[in-house]
A and B are shown apart, each in its own frame.
Chain A
Amino acid sequence: MTINFRTVFFLLICRFIIDILYYLISFQIYSYQGYTANLELYLINLPFSLFFIFPFILNDEKNNISNYLIFILLIGILLPLSSLFAFGASPASWYFINLTSFSFIVIVNNFMSNIHFDVPHLNNFALFKIVFYSFYAIATLVFISKYGININISSFSLTSELIYSQRGVFKDSNPGYLILNFFTLGPPLLFAYSIVFKNFFLMVGSSILTIIIFSTSSEKSLLFSMALYLGVFLIHKFFKKVNQKNLLKSYIFMILSASSIYFINPILSALFINRLIFTPQLVSTFYYEYFQKYDFSYFLDTSIFSLFFGKSYHTSISRELGRSLFGDETNLNAGLIADGYSKLGMSGIIIVCIVFVLILKIIDAFSNKKNNLFVKLLMTFSFFAMINSSIFTVFFTSGLFLSIIFLILLPPNKKIISEK
């Protein structure tokens, strides 16, 4: 095992920026949500909290698509959780469970990368394009027939009341899996396709689609994912080799940019830092504490399992937690590890980690010799969603299943170039 000390250096910088942001912004503004910060405890916990570096070091061994996808979760879950643990806002046991789980994921993934699956590759770019465009055509038709074309520029002001009322109307309309996939994955993926395969017409189309969809759904994550996709694209433009070190540099740039907005619009900056970095981990801590007291869901909170087993969990966990902890009708969704814990405790975490590694293996197997940037962009949204969503929910509603289908259909890069 070789340790890349530059990666460690950037990780430490990243972590201390996160700590400062937590103490100066999230804790000061959002302490009513349950954040605590004990500086004496911080000094004691700091050495243990730095163990979060180990999974990163292990993940640095290879540079496959799976390593990139694991990196997203390490940055999204383990890094902020280590900070919360250091400040005493998250229990040590929960931090170490996450640390062990991610170490397990990285070790198993590294081991699995030595096993190569001989999977069939479809060498037909036309077939890919037919399926790709058909998805957009059908989804757009279904969308227009259900919601019409509505352009509301005022919702781009991100005013909370306006956004939440619009979002409430959209969610009450029972959109269905196709529309949900279209709403979450559609515009960013079309944008990714247009920049990778240099199609200006589709780039304009994806921007228009974003405006129309955001006006209807008011999902802030859509705007964020467009920015994220642009960010991933720029990283690939700027750096010759996209490894953890360079990704960390970009992440540091991103959080510094977000925190610098604080001087112009403190609320927007605090919202961005809190919602994207700390809230998912605060919620995961809530999940851990809640399921110490109440019974696990035994996977019955997932509609697909409920359908097969013929019974379901007695309540909506996310709504129940929202009501118990914030006293309002918020949906508190937990990320990969917390979701596994809510399903079957430690055994649930192991099951979820195994499922996760298997999905990574499938992605690695099918991404061989394919356009690296497009495959990354294809998978980025679904894996980002896993920071605060169940892996099973992500599979159907956040486009993971659809992304894998597109990945399987995508021909190797050489084939696309030769066809062009």
Chain B
Amino acid sequence: MSYKIIFNLKSLFDLRKNPKILFKFIFLSLILSTLIYFVTPKEFVSSASVLPSQSDSNSLGAMASLASQLGYNMNQSNNPLTDPNVIKEIARNDNVSSKILNHTFTSKSGESKEIFYYLYPEKDLNDPLDFELSKKHLNKKVINVYQDIESSIIHFKVTTTSPNLSYEICKLVFQDTISKINSLTSLNNSKKLSFLTERNELLKIDLSKKQNALKEFQEKNISSKSPGLQLEISKLITEIEIIKNIYMVLRGEEETLAVEVNNNNNGIFLINEPYLPVERSFPKTKYLVFLFLFLNLSFAGLYILKNSKITELIDN
């Protein structure tokens, strides 16, 4: 069975002869769009950004030269934790999400409860399924951690219906991510440091033993100039030199690490700190205009369709 629709486009032009209907359409569109505009939940965005030091030189671009002008060496760290992709993953980490949801937040009205209940008032914090689903939702819809297109800057963006809540979550995710990177780096450095300290102590003892052995040997054979004894002395001196060199290298590394362990900025430069959003990010006036135009167009379409003729076509 086939149908033919004859669109009556002329009916739309004929509307100018009937301004009452035209005015009704426009008025209804205005009312509806204003209503939708005010009913649409407001969104407030709080954001922050950091610049990880370890990045490939190609993607650093302008930021790298800027940082170097300010005295920062962009390639100073080989820490994999400051890789932009790793930072993104850390920010989405289970521990970070759990901590945020369990964090108690006091709203403007003085009400104090876990962030979980502000975001998901219908759900139960103690229900493991609700909690897991909320974590997933938080990482997908509320928190956005992404790398800048032109550089390796990492942006943290939090969107909620309350400016204070956005700010609070942004602060938490930002601080937790940075502290997680710092703690993991510090832990790694501490382990390395304790190993180096231990190794240096052993080397120190070994070096001391070898030096004493050389001293004793030289004292016992003070007047001898035989080639065999000279060779033995040379052997002992070489061994001492090798141990001394290893010790000096490891000692230098130990000193650097000792400084790094107490360094709270493990290769991450702060570009923007989290801020309290003053204005809503959505909906804006543009949205109202769009709604108004869209509704007018829809009414026009429906009007044409209403005045169109649908006829059934008989085969052959």
Residues of A within 8 A of B (CB): 114-120, 293-295, 307-311, 314-316, 319-320, 323-324, 329
Which listed residue (A116, A295, A307, A319) contacts B149, Cβ 8 A? Answer: A319
B42-68 contacts to A, CB under 8 A, are: 59
Smallest CB gap from A308: residue in B: B290
Q: Verify A116–B313 contact, CB threshold 8 A.
A: yes
Q: Which of B265-282 contact A (CB under 8 A)?
A: 281-282
Q: Mark B256-295, 1 if CB is under 8 A from A, else 0.
A: 0000000000000000000000000111111101100010
Task: Choose, from B138-146, B161-169, B210-218, the stretch at the interface.
Answer: B138-146
Residue B5 at the chain A interface, CB threshold 8 Å: yes
Task: Tell whether B2 is near chain A: CB-to-CB under 8 Å.
Answer: yes
B2, B7, B282: the one within 8 Å of A311 (CB): B282
Q: Which residues of A contact B149 (CB under 8 A)?
A: 315-316, 319-320
A295 touches B3 (CB 8 A): no
Number of chain B residues close to chain A: CB under 8 A: 29
Q: Collect the chain B residues with CB atoms within 8 Å of residue A323's CB.
A: 147
Query: Given A114-B1, A294-B140, A311-B282, are A320 and B7 also a contact pair (CB < 8 Å)?
Result: no
Indicate if the CB atoms of A309 and B287 lie closer than 8 Å.
Answer: yes
Least CB distance, B101 to chain A, in whole angstroms: 18
- B184 in the interface (beta carbon within 8 A): no
Tell me whether B155 is interfacial, beta carbon within 8 Å: yes
Could you say which residues of chain A place their CB within 8 Å of the CB of B4?
Answer: 115-118
Q: Chain A residues with Cβ under 8 A from B3's Cβ?
A: 114-116
Q: Cβ of B7 and Cβ of A119 under 8 Å apart? A: yes
Please determine whether A116 and B144 come into contact, CB atoms closer than 8 angstroms. Answer: no
Q: Which of A293, A295, A319 has the most CB of B within 10 A?
A: A295
Q: Is the CB of B147 within 8 A of A308?
A: no
Interface residue B171 (Cβ < 8 Å from any Cβ of A): no
Q: Contact between B2 and A115 (Cβ–Cβ < 8 Å)?
A: yes
Residues of B within 8 A of A314 (CB): 144, 146, 155, 157
Inter-chain CB contacts under 8 Å: number: 61
Instruction: State whether the Cβ of B85 lies closer than 8 Å to any Cβ in chain A.
Output: yes
From A293, A308, A315, B287 is in contact (CB under 8 Å) with A308
Give the distance to chain A from B64, nearest Cβ to Cβ, in Å.
16
**Residue numbers in A under 8 Å from B281 (CB-CB):** 311
> Is B12's beta carbon under 8 Å from chain A?
no
Whether B6 sits at the interface, judged by CB under 8 Å, is: yes
Which of A307, A310, A320 has a CB less than 8 Å from the CB of B285?
A310
Residues in B whose Cβ lies below 8 Å from that of A115: 2-5
Please name all residues of chain A whose beta carbon is closer than 8 Å to the beta carbon of B5 when the two chains form the complex. 115-118
List residues of chain B with CB within 8 A of the CB of A310: 282-287, 290
Q: How far is the CA of A315 from the CA of B149 in the complex (A)?
A: 7
Judging by beta carbons under 8 Å apart, are A320 and B141 in contact?
Answer: no
Say whether A118 contacts B286, CB under 8 Å: no
- In the bound complex, do residue A116 and residue B2 qualify as a contact, i.e. CB atoms below 8 Å apart? yes
Taking the closest CB of chain A, its distance from the CB of B42, in whole angstroms, is 12
Scan B84-97; emit 1 where CB is below 8 A from any A CB, else 0: 01000000000000
Give the CA-CA distance A315 to B153 in the complex, in Å: 12
Contact partners of A309 in chain B: CB under 8 A: 282, 286-287, 290
Shortest CB-to-CB span from B286 to chain A, Å, is 4
Instruction: Provide the residues of chain B in CB contact with A329, threshold 8 Å.
Output: 59
> What residues on A are CB-neighbors of B140 within 8 Å?
293-295
Cα-based distance from A114 to B315 in the complex (angstroms): 11
Closest 5 CB pairs of A and B: A310-B286, A310-B284, A308-B290, A118-B6, A116-B4
Bound complex: CA A299 to CA B87 (Å): 27
Contacts A/B (CB < 8 Å), 5 sampled: A120-B9, A294-B140, A308-B289, A310-B284, A311-B282
Measured CA separation A115–B294 after assembly (Å): 26
Give the residues in chain B near A120, CB-CB below 8 Å: 9
Q: In the complex the two chains form, what is the Cα distance from A119 to B9 in whole Å?
A: 10
Report whether A307 and B286 are in contact in the complex, using a CB–CB cutoff of 8 Å.
Answer: yes
B286 touches A114 (CB 8 A): no
From residue A288, how far is it (CB to closest CB) to chain B in Å?
15
Residues of B contacting A319 in the complex (Cβ-Cβ under 8 angstroms): 149
Contact residues in A for B284 (Cβ distance below 8 Å): 310-311
Q: Which residues of A contact B146 (CB under 8 A)?
A: 314-315, 320
Annotate B115-153 by CB proximity to A: 1 below 8 A, 0 otherwise. 000000000000000000000000011001011010000
Distance (Å) between the CB of A306 and the closest chain B CB? 10
Nearest A residue to B144, CB-CB: A314
Kindly list chain A residues whose C-beta atoms are within 8 Å of the C-beta of B287: 308-310
Minimal Cβ-Cβ distance residue in A for B308:
A118
When distances are taken between beta carbons in the complex, the residues of chain B under 8 Å from A118 are 4-7
Chain B nearest CB, measured from A116 CB (Å):
4
Q: How far is the CA of A114 from the CA of B282 in the complex (A)?
A: 43
**Residue of B whose beta carbon sits closest to that of A117:** B5
Closest to A294 in B: B140
* The residue from A114, A307, A316, A320 contacting B2, defined by CB atoms under 8 A apart: A114
Add 16 more A-B contacts to A116-B2, A310-B290 (CB < 8 A).
Answer: A114-B1, A114-B2, A115-B3, A115-B4, A117-B5, A119-B7, A308-B290, A309-B282, A309-B286, A311-B281, A311-B282, A314-B144, A315-B147, A316-B149, A320-B147, A320-B149
**Residue of A whose beta carbon sits closest to that of B283:** A310
